[in-house]
């Protein structure tokens, strides 16, 4: 019985020590989220409906993250309830068509379908 307690204690200490070694990841995230400014004359906003989403965290947030990480995109929001994505992007780097393809490629390309795509030029 004493050996079992010692083994359990050693495993617990090992797990605790291993799980606390992720200090450098926050620095990496800060660098990855840095975006360049988009000139006002190049800023456009696109809105489109995304069919096929089944949950907010697994679908909407994944799509939002993929869009936000795309070069030339300054901001992206995906509303699960209304199924509408709104993306602010640099028209010299992206288009509604490329953003549509980005969404439709998420999850292997057979989960999501973009409909009712519209764009407008933001007046800043």
What's the pLDDT tens digit per position in 10-59? 776 665 555 544 444 444 344 444 456 788 888 999 999 999 999 888 89
- In this structure, are strands 113-121 and 73-79 parallel, antiparallel, or unpaired? unpaired
Q: Is the dihedral of CA 16, 24, 28, 75 positive or negative?
A: positive
85 is a domain residue: yes
Q: Residue 50 in contact with residue 83, Cβ under 8 Å?
A: yes
In angstroms, the CA 29 to CA 19 distance is 18
pLDDT tens, residue by residue, 66-117: 999 999 999 999 999 999 999 999 999 999 999 999 999 988 878 899 988 8
- Report if residue 27 sits inside a domain: no
Q: Which domain holds residue 108?
A: 38-121
The total domain count for the chain is 1
Kindly state the tokens that stand for 64: 């939002």
Q: Which residue has the higher pLDDT, 46 or 123?
A: 46
Examine residue 18 and state whether it is found in any structural domain, yes or no: no
Token pair belonging to 38: 């988009």
At 23 the pLDDT is: 43
Q: Measured between alpha carbons, how far is 3 from 35 in angstroms, rounded to an integer?
A: 55
CATH code, 88: 3.30.70.100
Q: What is the pLDDT of residue 18?
A: 52
């Amino acid at each position: 019985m004493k050996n079992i307690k010692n083994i359990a204690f050693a495993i617990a200490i090992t797990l605790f020590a291993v799980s606390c070694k992720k200090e450098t990841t926050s620095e990496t995230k800060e660098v990855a989220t840095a975006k360049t400014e988009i000139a006002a004359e190049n800023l456009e906003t696109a809105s489109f409906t995304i069919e096929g989403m089944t949950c907010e965290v697994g679908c909407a947030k994944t799509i939002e993250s993929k869009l936000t990480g795309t070069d030339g995109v300054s901001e992206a929001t995906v509303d699960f309830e209304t199924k509408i994505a709104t993306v602010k992007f640099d028209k010299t780097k992206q288009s509604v068509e490329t953003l549509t393809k980005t969404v439709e490629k998420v999850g292997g390309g057979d989960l999501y379908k973009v409909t009712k795509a519209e764009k407008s030029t933001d007046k800043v």
